[in-house]
C-alpha cells in the first residue's frame, strides 16, 4: 500500500482558532504543505469543527496525519479510514475551502 493513491478524512475541533479571521491563513498554509507533498484536498467548517479530506501517496498522507495528531490546535480528532482510490477527486486543489453542502458531495 505505501505507493498507492489513497484518501483519508478527519474531523477535529480547533483550539485557539477564530474561524472568521484565521481560515484563509489555515488554507494557505495547508495548501503550501500539500503542494510540497503532492496532496490534494478540501476542507470545510461544519458545526464548529474542521472536516478535511486529503488524497495522495500513503506515506505522505501518514506524514500529515501524524502532524495533525500531535498539533495542539486540534482536539477531539476523529480519523476516517485510509483507503485506496483509483483517481483523485480534487484535481489540482492542494487545499480548497468548501461549504458543508459541497463537502457532502465528496463523501462516500
Annotate 67-100 with DSSP letters as a single string.
Answer: HHHH-TTEEEEEE---EE-SS-SSTT-SSEE--H
Give the confidence band of 108 by pLDDT, cuts at 50, 70, 90.
Answer: low
Whether the model clears a pTM of 0.95, i.e. scores above it, the answer is no
Domain count of the chain? 1
* Residue 58 belongs to some domain of the structure: yes
d(CA 105, CA 108): 8
* Residue 108 belongs to some domain of the structure: no
* Residue 86 belongs to some domain of the structure: yes
CATH of the domain at 50: 3.30.70.100
pLDDT at 3: 58
pLDDT at 33: 93
3-state SS, residue 49: strand
* Residue 105 belongs to some domain of the structure: no
- Distances 45 to 36, 63, 82, 104 between C-alpha atoms, Å: 24, 22, 21, 12
* Residue 104 belongs to some domain of the structure: no
* Residue 103 belongs to some domain of the structure: no
Domain range for residue 29?
Answer: 5-98
Amino acid at each position: 500500500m505505501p505507493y498507492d493513491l489513497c484518501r483519508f478524512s478527519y474531523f477535529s475541533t480547533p483550539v485557539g482558532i477564530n474561524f472568521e479571521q484565521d481560515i484563509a491563513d489555515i488554507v494557505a498554509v495547508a495548501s503550501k504543505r500539500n503542494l510540497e507533498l503532492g496532496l490534494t484536498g478540501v476542507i470545510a467548517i461544519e458545526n464548529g469543527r474542521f472536516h478535511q479530506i486529503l488524497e495522495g501517496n500513503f506515506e505522505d498522507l501518514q506524514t500529515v496525519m501524524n502532524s495533525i495528531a500531535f498539533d495542539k490546535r486540534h482536539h477531539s480528532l476523529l480519523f476516517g479510514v485510509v483507503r485506496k482510490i483509483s483517481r483523485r477527486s480534487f484535481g489540482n486543489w492542494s487545499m480548497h475551502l468548501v461549504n458543508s453542502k459541497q463537502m457532502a458531495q465528496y463523501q462516500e
